[in-house]
Amino acid sequence: MTDTTDSVIRHTAFGEGTPIVLIHGYTVDHRVLLPLEPVFAGRPGWRRLYLDLPGHGASPRLPGPTSATALAEAVFRWIDAEVGDRPFAVVGQSFGGQLARAVTARYGEQVLGSALLVPVVRWGEDRTLPGETVVERDQELLDRLPDGPDRELFGYVMARLTEPGWELFEQFVLPGRRAHDQPAAAELEADFLLPHWPEHRAPQHRGRHLLVTTRQDGLVGWRDQLALLDHYPRMAATVLDGAGHNPQVECAKTVRGLVGGWLDGLDR
């Protein structure tokens, strides 16, 4: 079900109960997080709210310039309207992980906890990136794929460049990639980080938190994210091997296990 409100943010909702807000990354849409849905099959009582950020998926771009700050403010307005004062949890992937951190800082104890999947922490030359980002390569497949942005992105965000990897990429990553607003994305790329780490202006959050990174993430890396542990006293951290920038797609079963354990530990 997709909302029909006047908000610039559209969302897809499943289930009933405590809200959990799921925020995708840059130039994709909510479909990149749908591999998490089986986590909830045996866990009733969660209303999953999968956002399409402005300029992504079904959501129109912002009326003004697009920046990390502007998108964070749009998410805050959406939460105020859709969630209100109810306790909720938040999941953020990549750029959405940066926004999820801002949500936790903004709403404080109203947030039960967060799950951060390969979150953006640093950007540009400040990033610490791994030297090796591919663990399996099917060269015959790559030779068959036409040159272009789809093939390039596949090699950039996935660690297993194989037929099964391409099928997952086509199902969960490409649809959002092809739907995003390119001028808005260019604006965001030029203003990609919030002015300050959200944690630096907020007290330590004592809810349950989960950090999932991967050894082969060529986009945000994994070392920089470990600094978040200092700001979340009850954060569990896992560095996975054998996946790139979309671990919830590439190693869905493992990530679902981690997210399920996190959900079970939240105090509702």
* Segment 97-125, tens digit of pLDDT: 999 999 999 999 999 999 999 999 999 99
Percent of the chain with pLDDT over 90: 96
Q: Residue 83 — very low, low, confident or very high, per pLDDT cuts 50/70/90? A: very high
Q: How far apart (Å, rounded) are the C-alpha atoms in residues 52 and 254?
A: 25
3-state secondary structure the chain: CECCCCCCCEEEEECCCEEEEEECCCCCCHHHHHHHHHHHCCCCCEEEEEEECCCCCCCCCCCCCCCHHHHHHHHHHHHHHHCCCCCEEEEEECHHHHHHHHHHHHHHHHEEEEEEECCCCCCHHHCCCCCCCCCEECHHHHHHCCCCHHHHHHHHHCCEECHHHHHHHHHHHHHHHHHCCHHHHHHHHHCCCCCCCHHHHCCCCCCEEEEEEECCCCCCCCCHHHHHHHHCCCEEEEEECCCCCCHHHHCHHHHHHHHHHHHHHCCC
Q: What is the pLDDT of residue 266?
A: 97
Arithmetic mean of pLDDT, 208-237: 97
> What ranges do the domains of the chain cover?
10-265
- State the CATH class of domain 10-265: alpha beta
Strand 136-137 and strand 46-52: the pairing is unpaired
Q: Is the pLDDT of residue 41 over 50?
A: yes
φ and ψ of 112, to 5 deg? -70, -35
Q: Is the pLDDT of residue 3 over 70?
A: no
Mean pLDDT of the chain: 96
Q: What is the pLDDT of residue 124?
A: 95
Q: Is the pLDDT of residue 6 over 70?
A: no
Q: How far apart (Å, rounded) are the C-alpha atoms in residues 203 and 206?
A: 9
* Contact between residue 259 and residue 91 where contact means Cβ atoms under 8 Å apart: yes
Cβ neighbours for 249, distance < 8 A, ≥ 6 positions apart: 32, 35, 168, 169, 172, 173
Within 10 Å of residue 16's Cβ, how many Cβ atoms? 11
Arithmetic mean of pLDDT, 28-38: 98
* Contact between residue 212 and residue 240 where contact means Cβ atoms under 8 Å apart: yes
Residue linked to tokens 């569990």: 236
Please give the DSSP secondary-structure letter assigned to residue 173.
I
pTM score: 0.96
User: Looking at 6-10, 46-50, 205-209, 263-267, which range is the least confident one?
Assistant: 6-10
Q: How far apart (Å, rounded) are the C-alpha atoms in residues 16 and 107?
A: 21
Q: What is the pLDDT of residue 268?
A: 81
* Segment 43-66, tens digit of pLDDT: 999 999 999 999 999 999 999 999
> Which amino acid belongs to residue 52?
D
Q: Is the pLDDT of residue 4 over 90?
A: no
Arithmetic mean of pLDDT, 29-54: 97
Q: How far apart (Å, rounded) are the C-alpha atoms in residues 76 and 25?
A: 17
Q: What is the pLDDT of residue 7?
A: 74
Q: What is the pLDDT of residue 133?
A: 96
Q: Is the pLDDT of residue 2 over 70?
A: no
* Segment 122-180, tens digit of pLDDT: 999 999 999 999 999 999 999 999 999 999 999 999 999 999 999 999 999 999 999 99
Q: Residue 89 — very low, low, confident or very high, per pLDDT cuts 50/70/90? A: very high
